[in-house]
Every structure is written in C-alpha cells, then in structure tokens.
A and B are shown apart, each in its own frame.
Chain A
Amino acid sequence: QLQLQESGPGLVKPSETLSLSCTVSGGSISKTSYYWGWIRQPPGKGLECIGTISYSGSTYYTPSLKSRVTMSVDTSKNQFSLKLSSVTAADTAVYYCALVVVTATRSSFDYWGQGTLVTVSS
C-alpha cells in the first residue's frame, strides 16, 4: 500500500518561501505513468492542483501559480518537494501531496498524503 507523508514548516512569514517535502513509502517514485502532485485547500474552501512532477523531473505548474512554484524530485530518497515563493496570506492552506496516475485510459489522484496546514503570518 502506497503511503505519502508531507513535511515542512507549519508557519511561513509573508514574502518568504514555503517549502514542503513529500516522502513516498510502499512503492517506488520512479515508475512510468506515475506523476507526483501537490494540491492545496484553503480553510473551508475547495481543492486546487498546484502542479505535478514526474520521476524524471518533468513538471507541470498551474498557470495562476507558475511564476512562484518550483517542484523537484529526489529518487534516491523517494521524495519530491514543493517551493512556493513570495507567499501571502492567500497561500494559507492545507497542502496535500498525491500520486497522480496519467495514462491513455485514465487520470486521477489515486493516493493522498494526510495533508499539512501551512499558515502565512508574521
């Protein structure tokens, strides 16, 4: 059973960079057709996909956040990471990491981490 676990600071100051990591266990991060995604959910609101990364480092960032987002992958640690720069209070949210399956016959977020709340405040 694949498991994902987010880690990182729960409090970030405005204008600074939010940094989170996701450790994958129970399976290899290096699998074709697997992508690794970050999704966020502001308190009381809906879900927004921030972007995805493949084990080879191919990335997709959602257009509204593209200028501030960097994702990376470390296959030796079975881990992938998110950096979001110049944060404001609007970036306060629960951040989830997830396995994204994309094939010719399906696409879905199949496994999710438990989520970590990141608050942007001075």
Chain B
Amino acid sequence: EIVLTQSPGTLSLSPGERATLSCRASQSVSGTYLAWYQQKPGQAPRLLIYGASSRATGIPGRFSGSGSGTDFTLTISRLEPEDFAVYYCQHYGSSPLFSFGPGTKVDIK
C-alpha cells in the first residue's frame, strides 16, 4: 500500500508570496498518475495539476507541479487572495487504487 504524506499541514503566507507544498509517497510512484486538487470551504475539490506537472484546463500559470519518484511539489508562484484553500495530492495505481494525501491548508498570515 502506498501512503501519501503532505507537508506542511498548514502554510501561513501573505498574498504575493510563493507557496511550496510537498507530497511524499511511501514508495516510488509514477508521476503520470499524480494529481493535485484545490478545495475551498463548502466547495468540491477542483483539479489543478495532472501527470505531476500538466495544468488542467483553465488553471492559471502561477500554479505549477513538479517531481518524480517519491517527492512531488506544487508551487504557487505568487499567492492571490483566492488561492487560500486546502490542497490535496492524489495518486492512482496502487492499493487502494485511488489514494489522497491528507491535505495542506494554505492560510493567510
């Protein structure tokens, strides 16, 4: 079983700052099947990144994903007010077939 760990649990930053979120897998996984989601309070998650580094349709360029093996990163280059939310990584391909990380909350400092 592959377990996804996200760090930090909470990231307190100001608008305009750079956010770096980490997703670590308990064993090497394919980046092809690594995705990132954003969830705001009271809303459904929204797909940001798939294939570790491809932006989903309509996602602003300030969001980027990178990584391989066991370590993946979501970077928000300059935080906008609407970016304060919870971010989840997700992997497909092990047992369970679809697994989510516990999330990182990005809140306003």
A residues contacting B by CB (< 8 A) are: 37, 46-49, 52, 60, 62-64, 96, 100-102, 105-110, 112-115
B100 engages A48 (CB within 8 Å) = yes
The one of B33, B43, B103 that contacts A107, using a Cβ cutoff of 8 Å: B33
A46 engages B100 (CB within 8 Å) = yes
Given A106-B33, A107-B33, residue A112 in contact with residue B44 (CB < 8 A): yes
Q: Which residues on A sit within 8 Å (CB–CB) of B101?
A: 46
* B52 CB, min distance to chain A CBs, angstroms: 10
Among B56, B98, B102, B103, max chain A CB count under 10 A is at B98
* Apart from A46-B88, A49-B96, A106-B33: 17 A-B pairs, beta carbons within 8 A: A46-B101, A47-B45, A47-B100, A47-B103, A49-B98, A63-B95, A105-B32, A106-B32, A107-B93, A108-B35, A108-B50, A108-B92, A109-B98, A110-B56, A112-B44, A113-B44, A115-B44
Query: What's the count of A-B pairs with C-beta under 8 Å?
Result: 67
B66 CB within 8 Å of chain A: no
Among B44, B47, B90, B93, max chain A CB count under 10 A is at B44
Q: Which residues on A sit within 8 Å (CB–CB) of B88?
A: 46-47
27 intermolecular pairs with C-beta atoms under 8 Å apart: A46-B100, A47-B88, A47-B90, A49-B96, A49-B99, A52-B97, A52-B98, A62-B97, A63-B96, A96-B44, A96-B45, A102-B92, A106-B32, A106-B54, A107-B32, A107-B33, A107-B35, A107-B93, A108-B47, A108-B50, A108-B90, A108-B92, A109-B45, A109-B47, A110-B47, A112-B44, A112-B45
B76-109 interface bits toward A, Cβ cutoff 8 Å, 1 = contact, 0 = none: 0000000000001010110111111111000000
Q: Which residues on A sit within 8 Å (CB–CB) of B51?
A: 105-106
